[in-house]
Every structure is written in C-alpha cells, then in structure tokens.
Amino acid sequence: MNASTTQNPLFYQTSSHIPLVSRAEGIYIWDEDGKRYMDGSSGAIICNIGHGDPAVLDAITQQAQSTFFTYRTQFENGPAVELAQQLVHHAASSLSRVFYVSGGSEAVESAIKLCRTYHLSRGDGGRYLFISRFPSYHGSTLGALALTSYAPLEIHYRPMIKSAPKIPAPYCYRCHYGQSYPTCSLSCAHALETMIKQLGPENVAGFVAEPIGGASTGALPPPDDYFAVIRKICDKYSILLILDEVMTGFGRTGKLFAYQHWDLQADIVALSKGMASGYFPLGAVMCRGDIVDSVLATGGFPHGHTYAGNPMACAVGRAVLKRIVDDGLADRAAAMGERLLQGLRRLAVKYPIIGEVRGKGLLTALEFVSDRDTRTPFADHLQVGNLVTARAFANGLIVYPRRSINGLSGDHILVAPPLIIKETEVDELLDRLGRSLDEASTRLAGA
C-alpha cells in the first residue's frame, strides 16, 4: 500500500496542521474535539449571514426537488433570472445587466474580458491595457493575478503573465508620496491620469480597484473624495471604471455595496464571496446596459463558465440576498462595525504593537508596528500577523492575517465577523482578541 494513502492526501498552500471541522452554526464553528471557535473573519470574509441559516437550507432543499444543474446555452432557470432582477433592483442605476460566474477570480477575469470586448465592439481595438493599484489583490487566475500586486501570491508567475501597470493605492498610513491627507491633494488618485498619459489613452481599456482595500491592504477605506477624482479621470479618457466588490459587497461595509458610500457610478462591478455567503460557489459581473448591447450586437461575448447561472447556486444567492435585505444586515454591519472599531481602538491604546485601526462596517483591520512614532514594521522573521492569528486561534477566535507592504513585510489582521453578530458577541470577540494580543505582546517582548 502506498504510504500516502494512510494519511490525508489533500494539500493547500502550506503543510501546517489544521483541525477537522465538525459543525458550524451562526458565528461559531466546532472542531471534531468539540472546541468552539468564533468565526471572526467570516471564513475568508465570505460568510456574511453566518453558518447554518435556516432560510438558505430551506432554499437548498426546495431547489433540490427541481434541478441542481442546467447548462446556460440550453435552458434558462427561474432562480438565475430572479436573482439577476433583484441584483439590478438593489444596485446602482448604471448597473442593469448581470453575467454569472462561480467565484471572485472568475468575476474579475470576466470583467476585464467584457471591458476589452466592449472596446472591440466599438471599433476601439487598440484599448487592451488595464491599470490597477499596488498593493492589491484581485484573484488567483492569471488575468486577475496580472492586476494583483501582492508578491507572495504572484511573484512566481510573473514570467507567465503580462502584469498590469499600477499606481499607488490610497494607503494614507504609508503614503507612497510621503504626504498627508488632505494636503496631499490626492496625489494617489491623480496618479491615474499620469499613468494614462504615459501609456497613451488610446491603449487603456479600464481601471480596476477595490472600493475599500481588502486582504492586501487590510480594510483600507479611501479618502471620501478619492473616487470622485478617479471617476472624472476615467470619463475624460473614455476608460471604464471596474470595481472589485468581491470582498466588500453584500452588506459587509455597512452598505449593500461599498460603492454606495460615495454614490459612485461604476461601469462594471465584480461580485462574489458574500453573494452566496459560503453556501455555494457563486459570483457575478454587473455592468451598464449599453456595454452589453454593444457586445451582443457585434458577435456576442466569447466567454463563459460551465457553472455560470447554476440554478442551485442562484437559489442560494437569492435566499442570501433576501436575508441581507429583509433583515437590514447592511445597517446592522454599520452599527456593529462601529462598536467593533471602538473596541479595537481601545485595544490600540493598551497594546503599542497596534499601529493603526481602520475599516468600515464589519470589514476592519489592525496593522502592527514595532514603533508607532516611525510606523516601522516588525522584522519579517517575527511573523507578527501570524503570531497574533495563532494565539487567537488557540483562544477560540479566527482572524485573517496578511502582510501590509506588498505582501513582503509589515503585518495586519482582518477582523470581519458575520453580519449577524450581536453586541454581546462583539464584546466576546474583543475579549478573546485582547487576550491574544496580550500573549503575542509578551512573546515579542522576549524575542
């Protein structure tokens, strides 16, 4: 017998040991030994309505009586149509068409291909370049990875991709220009126009950005006037604004979609994660109607995925959206997010390793530093984000670590519990995180 058959043959990013899950309910997960963990990161910031929601389980049961799968070129299905109608109803007025995918990377990849096809349909085939930002993360497929600037995830594959030109993210805590807002005059936003001119406007198809930075920058809201400048520049040069709402959508930031914080009218939006809240693989691209009209009038969109518009996935998505809207979970995220942020700021007063607390709604983060005054990150080998995450896990709390400076140095953790979290549970989360920070600080003091 092959020795490998006697052990778990699965592998993911690393060889680290993780416990076997037993069950999950609400904001909690239990392992096979009965230990309970608070899901303080909603998995990978996906389980917006928590685990084991009865309405979703009922929707799955009902849809199972009909069909699990039909292929999109052979049959339409009710859940797909109805979910698309609801998405359009709740989205910005500019977004009137929906294209389904199975996940976030596919959504971003589909968005840039749609943008390219649109320019071709208008006889503007010279437009093929996409500008994105650094740091950033947009997905693991090669097209989405070309937009990404997070070295550990993309550096090995750079010879295989044509990396997109990039401008600085609005990372005020570590301003690329060494300036401070608002006296900076939003240099990071105006960098888009400079880049467009360098590349030649006739060559640029679109600009891709998360409305609020996710994993790569740690719950990073832009200055309130940032996207007004971006929108004006895109319009000036006939470039499409593509928003990656994969992490920020479906109530996570205190609005149903993060672009609603600034009444921003995007041309194309990529969605996933909270769209099905982890109950089924599902994502979508939403876009302006005239984009679709132009593409379909000139031969169609030569792109698609086998599971696009899957009836079970869309039945789940329909139930999740109804839960978020009917129960006001976006407003709840705003209120609970403020309670969480206040608590995180109190922890920052107590623990000098916290350099900044930031976020919006229930997408929040702590960035760690060895010196607050100079904002100096900890030495790489200390792996402070991973240390805090490990201590939190031992204390029954799940958080989400990443490196702040293009994935190469610096440390932050995302704290993003399900939107159904209660006030007492926010306090419980803060208590567990406080104990974990205390233990991590003690270890770092002895390092």
Question: In order of start, what are the domains of the chain with their CATH numbers?
Answer: 3-52+328-445 (3.90.1150.10), 57-326 (3.40.640.10)
pLDDT tens-digit map of 395-432: 999 999 999 999 999 999 999 999 999 999 999 999 99
Which residues are within 8 A (CB) of 253 and not within 5 positions of it... i.e. 6 or more apart?
212, 261, 333, 337, 360, 361, 362, 363
What's the pLDDT at 399?
98
How would you classify the pairing of strands 411-415 and 363-368?
A: antiparallel
* 171: DSSP letter: -
Cα–Cα distance, 290 to 303 (Å, whole number): 18
pLDDT higher at 3 or 270 = 270
What three-state secondary structure class fits 371? Answer: strand
Q: How many CA atoms, within 13 angstroms, populate the side-chain half-sphere of residue 307? A: 14
User: Rounded to 5 degrees, what are φ and ψ at 178?
Assistant: 70, 25
The reported pTM is 0.96
pLDDT band at 7 (very low <50, low <70, confident <90, very high): confident
Q: What is the dihedral of CA 253, 259, 263, 267, to 10 degrees?
A: -170
**Residue 8: its pLDDT value, please?**
81
Answer whether 403's CB lies under 8 Å from 411's CB: yes
Which H or E run includes 349? Answer: helix 329-350
DSSP 260: G
- On the question of pLDDT at 94 being above 80, the answer is yes
Task: Answer whether 224's CB lies under 8 Å from 262's CB.
Answer: yes
Question: CA separation (Å) from 89 to 213, 235, 271, 341?
Answer: 26, 25, 15, 31
Q: What is the pLDDT of residues 145-177, one digit of tens each?
A: 999 999 999 999 999 999 999 999 999 999 999
d(CA 235, CA 241) in angstroms, rounded, equals 9
Say if residues 405 and 175 touch (Cβ distance below 8 Å). no
- Rounded mean pLDDT of 27-34? 97
User: What is the overall mean pLDDT for the chain?
Assistant: 96
Amino acid 6: pLDDT: 62
Distance of CA 353 to the CA centre of its chain: 25
Query: Percentage of residues in the chain with pLDDT exceeding 90?
Result: 95
- Quote the CA–CA distance of 365 and 362 in Å, as a whole number: 10
Cα–Cα distance for residue pair 442/437, rounded to 1 Å: 8
Q: What is the pLDDT of residues 271-320, one digit of tens each?
A: 999 999 999 999 999 999 999 999 999 999 999 999 999 999 999 999 99
Amino acid 1: pLDDT:
43
| Pair of tokens at residue 56 | 């979703």
Per DSSP, 421 falls in state -
Would you state the pLDDT for residue 188? 98
pLDDT at 47: 98
DSSP 8-state class, residue 353: T
- Decide: 367 and 355 in contact? Cβ < 8 Å: yes
| Cβ atoms within 10 Å of 417's Cβ, excluding its own | 28
Sign of the four-CA dihedral 186, 187, 188, 192: positive
In terms of phi and psi (left: phi > 0; alpha: psi -120 to 50; beta: otherwise), the region of 178 is left
Q: What distance in Å separates the CA atoms of residue 43 and residue 50, rounded to the nearest whole number?
A: 10
Among 222, 239, 231, which residue's Cα sits nearest to residue 264? 231
Q: How far apart are CA 149 and CA 139, in angstroms?
A: 10
Token representation of residue 412: 């932050």
Q: pLDDT tens digits, residue range 95-133?
A: 999 999 999 999 999 999 999 999 999 999 999 999 999
Q: What is the band of 436 on the pLDDT scale with cuts at 50, 70, 90?
A: very high
Cα–Cα distance list, 322 to 49, 56, 419 (Å): 11, 10, 14
Count the Cβ atoms, other than its own, within 10 Å of residue 113.
15
Vertex 141 angle, CA 284 and 226, to 5°: 65
List the structure tokens of 257. Answer: 């979609």
Q: What is the phi/psi pair of residue 365, to 5°?
A: -155, 155
pLDDT band, very low/low/confident/very high, at 46 (cuts 50, 70, 90): very high
Residues in the chain: 447
40 to each of 9, 19, 257, 353, 389, how far by Cα in Å? 28, 17, 21, 20, 11
State yes or no: pLDDT of 17 exceeds 90.
no
Q: Is the confidence at residue 2, as pLDDT, over 80?
A: no
Nearest to 205 by CA among 128, 281, 257: 128
Answer for the pair 246, 272: CB distance below 8 angstroms, yes or no.
yes
pLDDT tens column, 211-232: 999 999 999 999 999 999 999 9
